[in-house]
Amino acid sequence: MVAIVWFRNDLRLADQPALAAAASSGPVLPVFVDDRQSPGVRAEGAAARWWRVRSLAALDADLARRGGRLLVLKGPAAPVLRALVQRVGATAIHATAQPEPWWGPIEAELGPSLVRHPGSWLHPPGAVVTAAGAPFRVFTPFARAHEGLGPPPRPRPAPARIAFAPPPEPAPPLPRFNPRWARGFAEAGWTPGEEGARRRLAEFLPRAAAYGRRRDFPAEPATSRLSPHLHFGEISAAAVWHAVVDAIGAQTAQPFTRQLIWRDFARELIRQHPDSAERPHRPAFARMAWTDVATEPGRSWLAAWRQGRTGYPLVDAGMRELWQTGWMHNRVRMVVGSFLVKHLGIDWREGERWFWDTLLDADLPNNAMGWQWVTGSGVDGQPFHRIFSPVLQAERFDALAYIRRFAPEYDGVAPVRPIVDHAEARARALARLAALREDAAP
Ligand SMILES: Cc1cc2nc3c(=O)[nH]c(=O)nc-3n(C[C@H](O)[C@H](O)[C@H](O)COP(=O)(O)OP(=O)(O)OC[C@H]3O[C@@H](n4cnc5c(N)ncnc54)[C@H](O)[C@@H]3O)c2cc1C
């Protein structure tokens, strides 16, 4: 009997428990549903869409080499899959658990024919809890408990043999998406798909031992750049974990494996707060008097931030790296995020949405957590009163070569015709915070 494998952000053949389970039970029908209609689904941003269509094509090619095809269907996932089950007489739909909150109701509609597998987290969702069985709200104890569970399961290779069920209809052509602005993505060396993910990991391994010391220096290729591959599940987090630990040992790997634990933490946070991309975890922040972006100067400030024209070299270099390559270094994400929210006083949700549209690795849990972290509105993050100076950050992390690469009109780290003065902006941000506190006083 046919088993459907419902691919989502797990676009790989290796260490893919849903595929492994289906392949061991009989003929397999691999399916992706392009769902922009189910209630609550947040449409993918343009950069992620660019990646998605290429990743689907890569998965289709990998399946074709083994004699199968990826069936890409359009529409609300639950009715589309139920109809497919009927048409092919499938016994089950196998899928790996995913963190986005909109999947819950869709999965409930599929009922018992859906078999959910772990595989996208290092440890299964809900496995890392306090001694009392409650979820953690703060990262450090979460990470300690996570590490206490030991390493994630060793990754399993792709099934040696997969018998494919014939698709019920000729497969419609795969979607295409080639916006002009995205030409820089391919030039930046991104290769969506499982093979591209494996190559990126192999390139990182010789540099992994220096990660802990160099990861904050944006001019250096010190981080893995695996984030889009991990978001789309072209490689499992467990496979990355074990490859790095095997290469350099658990202790040297710890600064890196900690980041994969941050990824699990973001997934746990979104389970606790499904509206993390819209609602601050600290309720007081909902009353913050943000700069109005429908009128001046807010409108121009937001545009200048998006386009990398703020007059602060590190901020502008970061925003242009994002626009040109679809990715931005983590240290610079923190600096540009802090600048938007604190120097410009603009609501973090504007930043969250811009990143959502322009990042190749746009990931609901990581992006929401990142923005709440820089704002200080999260359960665990940088307090609002700690305001990064883009100049000191650029000096501290030797960002000049990075600035020259992405914003070559600057030839130093000091601001040139800045849209806001640092000291004034800082004073405004602190006043905004003080007003919020007064407002909260009884
Ligand atoms: C405002 C803001 C927004 C962000 N938005 C996203 C986003 O949409 N998608 C995204 O994947 N990451 C996001 N991050 C987290 C982080 O910046 C990126 O994961 C990282 O820069 C990706 O580069 P890398 O693959 O070289 O990371 P590495 O340093 O090599 O880390 C390896 C992997 O660990 C995970 N990871 C690393 N740092 C974090 C973190 N702080 N939180 C959660 N997971 C992490 C990622 O999956 C990453 O690929 C955001 C951070 C901030 C401050």
pLDDT digits (tens, 9 = 90+) for 13-56: 999 999 999 999 999 999 999 999 999 999 999 999 999 999 99
171 pLDDT tier (thresholds 50, 70, 90): confident
Average pLDDT taken over every residue of the chain:
96
Rounded percentage of the chain residues whose pLDDT exceeds 70? 99
Tell whether 60 and 144 lie within a shared domain: no
Give the distance (Å) from ligand 1 centre to CA of residue 119: 19
Tell whether 240 and 288 lie within a shared domain: no
Would 169 be classed as within a structural domain?
Answer: no
For atom 46 of ligand 1, which residue has the closest CA?
227
222: CATH: 1.25.40.80
Q: What is the pLDDT of residues 336-369, one digit of tens each?
A: 999 999 999 999 999 999 999 999 999 999 999 9
Residue 441 has pLDDT above 70, yes or no: no
Q: Please report the atom of ligand 1 found closest to the CA of residue 229.
A: 49
SS (H, E, C) 53-68: HHHHHHHHHHHHHCCC
Q: What DSSP line would sit under 136-171, residue for residue? A: PSSHHHHHHHHHHT-SPPPP-PPPS--PBPPPSSPP
Residue 326 has pLDDT above 60, yes or no: yes
Would 164 be classed as within a structural domain?
Answer: no
Tell whether 304 and 432 lie within a shared domain: yes
Tell whether 232 and 109 lie within a shared domain: no
Tell whether 255 and 299 lie within a shared domain: no
For atom 20 of ligand 1, which residue has the closest CA?
330
Q: Please report the atom of ligand 1 found closest to the CA of residue 266.
A: 43
Probe target for ligand 1 pocket from 366, 367, 388, 402, with the most ligand atoms within 8 Å of CB: 366
Which residues does ligand 1 sit against, CB inside 6 Å?
Answer: 215, 223-227, 230-231, 259-260, 262-263, 266, 330, 333-334, 337, 355, 359, 361-363, 366-367, 370-371, 374
Give the distance (Å) from ligand 1 centre to CA of residue 330: 6
Would 185 be classed as within a structural domain?
Answer: no
Probe target for ligand 1 pocket from 340, 361, 380, with the most ligand atoms within 8 Å of CB: 361
Look up residue 262 and give its two tokens: 């941050």
Total domain count for the chain?
3
Q: What DSSP line would sit under 274-334, residue for residue? A: TTTTTS-SSGGGGG--PPPSSSTTHHHHHHHHHHT-SS-HHHHHHHHHHHHHS---HHHHH
Q: To the nearest 10°, report the CA torsion of 140, 141, 147, 149.
A: -160
Q: Please report the atom of ligand 1 found closest to the CA of residue 265.
A: 43
70: CATH: 3.40.50.620
Tell whether 131 and 226 lie within a shared domain: yes
For atom 31 of ligand 1, which residue has the closest CA?
259
Choose one of 95, 118, 141: the last residue of a domain: 118
Would 163 be classed as within a structural domain?
Answer: no
Give the distance (Å) from ligand 1 centre to CA of residue 338: 16
The pLDDT value given to residue 442: 43
Give the distance (Å) from ligand 1 centre to CA of residue 296: 33
Gap between the Cα atoms of 121 and 96, Å rounded: 10
Would 184 be classed as within a structural domain?
Answer: no
Look up residue 326 and give its two tokens: 């679809």
Tell me if the pTM is above 0.95.
Answer: yes
Give the distance (Å) from ligand 1 centre to CA of residue 366: 7
Would 183 be classed as within a structural domain?
Answer: no
Q: Please report the atom of ligand 1 found closest to the CA of residue 334.
A: 53
Burial of residue 410, with CB atoms counted within 10 A of its CB: 0-12 exposed, 13-18 middle, 19 or more buried: buried
| Preceding peptide of 297 cis, ω within 30° | yes
- In the chain, the amino acid numbered 224 is S
Gap between the Cα atoms of 442 and 439, Å rounded: 8
Tell whether 52 and 23 lie within a shared domain: yes
Closest by Cα among 332, 289, 296, 329 to 314: 332
The residue segments making up the domain with residue 46 are 3-118
Q: To the nearest 10°, report the CA torsion of 319, 325, 331, 337.
A: 30
What is the rounded average pLDDT of the residues 269-275? 94
Q: Please report the atom of ligand 1 found closest to the CA of residue 228.
A: 11
Q: Return the higher-pLDDT residue of 380 and 65.
A: 65
Give the distance (Å) from ligand 1 centre to CA of residue 420: 28
Would 8 be classed as within a structural domain?
Answer: yes
Tell whether 114 and 125 lie within a shared domain: no
Angle of helix 348-358 versus helix 313-325 axis, rounded to 10? 40
Give the distance (Å) from ligand 1 centre to CA of residue 176: 27
Tell whether 353 and 295 lie within a shared domain: yes
Q: What is the pLDDT of residues 198-229, one digit of tens each?
A: 999 999 999 999 999 999 999 999 999 999 99
Residue 440 has pLDDT above 70, yes or no: no
Look up residue 256 and give its two tokens: 């890196």
User: Distance between alpha carbon 212 and the CA centroid of its chain, in Å?
Assistant: 21
The pLDDT value given to residue 378: 87
Gap between the Cα atoms of 115 and 20, Å rounded: 12
Tell whether 107 and 126 lie within a shared domain: no
Gap between the Cα atoms of 238 and 242, Å rounded: 6
Q: What is the pLDDT of residues 140-152, one digit of tens each?
A: 999 999 999 999 9
Tell whether 12 and 93 lie within a shared domain: yes
Tell whether 111 and 128 lie within a shared domain: no
